Amino acid sequence: MIKVNKTVLIIDDSTFMRNMLKNVLSESNYLVISEASNGNDAISLYQEFNPDIVLLDITLPDINGIDVLKKLIKINSEAKIVMCSSMGQSFVIIEALELGAKDFIVKPNFNELIPALNKVFNLPIKIC
């Protein structure tokens, strides 16, 4: 198995989804260094931890994920952010990618998650 150990910030208002994501990530040697359940905490935690990659939900209780994406890109134009949302409408996906997201995963189908993250880091893409 390839040693990955890239750090991840998970931003999702659902504890259940954050736990699911943590399980999938840890099985592939991604290290979850922090979690946020809202946009304001997410921005603060991003600045504090400077993770290698961010998994960002669209629907958050205070600031929507698209606005969080804009703020994170403003903080760091090289930020690696993968949108991870049940809102898979094409206009939302296109907007997120145009704003700087590296990919868009429709949850709860996480079969594409690790291949998408590996692609962001130019790692071999392991298909589950």
Domains of the chain: 7-120 (3.40.50.2300)
Three-state DSSP at 27 gives: helix
Beta bridge partners of 7: 31
Cα–Cα distance for residue pair 69/101, rounded to 1 Å: 7
Give me the pLDDT at residue 50, please. 97
Query: pTM, whole model, 2 decimals?
Result: 0.91
Which pLDDT score is estimated for 107?
Answer: 84
**Residue 118: how many CB atoms within 10 A of its CB?**
18
- What's the pLDDT score for residue 123? 80
Averaged pLDDT for residues 116-121: 92
Residues 103 and 81: their CA atoms lie apart, in Å, by 7
Which contacts qualify for 91-97: CB closer than 8 Å, 24 or more apart? 92/58, 92/66, 95/66, 96/58, 96/65, 96/66, 96/69
Is the pLDDT at 127 greater than 50, yes or no?
A: no
Residue with tokens 């991003």: 46
Interval 17-69: pLDDT, tens: 999 999 999 999 999 999 999 999 999 999 999 999 999 999 999 999 999 99
